Amino acid sequence: MSNELNNIISLNSDGVEEGVAIGGDRYPGSTFLDHVLRYEDNPAVKMIVILGEVGGTEEYAVAEAVRSGQVRKPVVAWCIGTCAQQLARATGTEGIQFGHAGACANSDRETATAKNAALAAAGIHVPTSFDDLDVLIRKIYTDLVSSGKLIPKPERKPRPVPIDYAWAKARAQDQCAYPSGFFEWDIDIAHRRFKLLPEAMVCATRNWPNNRRKHRGYSMASSRT
């Protein structure tokens, strides 16, 4: 969930200043509101995005903070698990648990549908479904840029990925196979030249000359293809 949310935000804004996953325990070590208040005081943060879920009541504290004016920055929020009630009706069960302790609605107030409604009533931007979350984030971001409240940061080149040590060492010692360029030998030619069975499919590396194979102790049969 955290990876996907960071990806969605990055694709529809100028990036993520900070992201926190509070986990799915029934009693988390920190709450949504703890971090929302930090972001409210952080001038680098212009928009706050929350992805909650069915179960628990932490989202209501954020709704109250927005309603009271304690949080003034635009907040986009969505609680996943709106299908839980439909599943409960279909299976005749009282509640649906989605894999961990925190994702279990013990009352109607803890359902994703109820929490999304409460967030929207407090003035928080809530999409109609998860599929529209990226659209809403893009809209709020565009509005912030248009109003001059947010100056987009320029794109920066991604940091180079470190080379695997074992691979780099093997390459330095000339123990790596050369990049392969493949082509198929005609089966008749392969049979005449290399005495291979006609059924054999013979491939060789186009960019690895025979003298290099011989020099390194490789034969046509043992070369990497």
Selected residue with higher pLDDT from 209 and 128? 128
Q: Out of 4-8, 75-79, 168-172, 177-181, which region has the weakest mean confidence (pLDDT)?
A: 177-181
Which residues are identified as catalytic? 100
Give the architecture-level CATH label for domain 2-146.
Answer: 3-Layer(aba) Sandwich (3.40)
Provide DSSP, 8-48.
Answer: HHHHSSS--S------S-SS-SS-HHHHHHHHHH-TT---E
Residue 161 is classified by DSSP as: P
pLDDT at 85: 75
pLDDT at 157: 85
Candidate ranges 91-95, 175-179, 203-207; pick with highest mean pLDDT: 91-95
Work out the burial of residue 65: count CB atoms within 10 Å of its CB; fewer than 13 is exposed, 13-18 middle, 19 or more buried: buried
pLDDT at 199: 44
Phi, psi (5° rounding) for residue 17? -75, -45
- Report pLDDT digits (tens) over 185-201: 445 555 555 554 444 44
Q: Where are the domains of the chain?
A: 2-146, 165-215
- Assess whether pLDDT exceeds 50 at residue 208: no
For residues 8-24, average pLDDT: 93
- Assess whether pLDDT exceeds 80 at residue 216: no
- Assess whether pLDDT exceeds 60 at residue 158: yes
- Assess whether pLDDT exceeds 90 at residue 31: yes
Half-sphere exposure of 47 (CA within 13 A, CB side): 26
pLDDT at 17: 95
User: pLDDT band for position 24 (50/70/90)?
Assistant: confident
pLDDT at 215: 44
Q: What type of residue is 32?
A: F
Selected residue with higher pLDDT from 144 and 84? 144
